[in-house]
Amino acid sequence: MIDVQHLNKAFKGKPAVQDVSFSITRGEMVGYLGPNGAGKSTTIKVLTGLLVPDSGVVSVGGLVPWRERRRHVARLGAVFGQRTTLWWDLPVRESLELLRHVYRVPREKFVENLRAFTELLELGPFLNTPARSLSLGQRMRADLAAALLHDPELLFLDEPTVGLDVVAKERIREFVRHINAQRGVTVLLTTHDLGDVERLARRVMIIDTGRLLYDGDLPELQARYGSARELIVDFEEAPATAPLPGLEVLEHSGPRVRYAFSGPAAVPIALVTALAPVRDITVKEPDIEPTIRRIYEGKLLAAHPTSTNPDRSKCLFSQIP
């Protein structure tokens, strides 16, 4: 679906993207992460055809975005958290009708999609409300519907849940999961809300100072750079505090003991159940936010850039010292 090889782009002599290579297959949902100024927006603008790179090869669905832009944009959708595609003074329904004509969506398909999106995104209460009167959560849901009315093959999401409350965020995440799973829409997600990444994308790419530093599975990133997993055990009664191999006691309060461990959970669970009768066991995975923060602040990937799947990323970071 997307193939990027040795992409370079600079502004006034300052590199924004340097030798970036990756590929995304049809139907994937990928998180594209990095601090502000890392090169995420430049990459997205090249992929949408808004920017022409200085060098490199870019193909999206077999098209070169900036050369075949008309055909290209007809096959993609985009939602940017700080911008809207809706007409400010028109009711949402009329904005969607206008977009139907822009994308030449057949009337039957428009009605079918509008019905489905109205149900999935709960648009009904504000379909006849002007965009200027919508809450942020309502506007984002309407923008998602607008971006997908024409059945695009590819969806770019840039900060789709920024500023939203917990309920609104989860509704949007559920919708994105649905269109990815049920309609096969390829999704490239850029966000600073790492809850979006944890709930939506198994694969992540991390870019910093214009260089792609990681391309692989999120669980592998957690295992390599994250904090330890936790095992929370409620024993029938307070157990003896004998040390167990591979387990560090973080907290011991009566019959409840909180351990830290790494690797698969089967061995630690076997050890604690052999120690004393157990009432309940919970395995707590580390949050991604502290992991990403450690990577950015400690420049961990700059020292040891990696890809867990070499076939995905052909720039093997040879230029990074």
Q: How long is the chain?
A: 321
Query: Residues 51-100: pLDDT tens digits?
Result: 999 999 999 999 999 999 999 999 999 998 778 999 999 999 999 999 99
| Lookup result for tokens 């971006």 | 147
In this predicted structure, the answer to whether residue 15 has a pLDDT above a threshold of 90 is: yes
Contacts of residue 247, defined as CB under 8 A and 6 or more positions apart, other chains included, come to 231, 259, 260, 261, 268, 271, 272
pLDDT of residue 302: 65
CA atoms within 13 A on the CB side of 241: 10
pLDDT for res 172:
93
pTM over 0.85: no
Mean pLDDT of the chain: 88
% of the chain residues with pLDDT over 70: 93
- List the beta bridge partners of residue 215: 205, 307
pLDDT over threshold 50, residue 13: yes
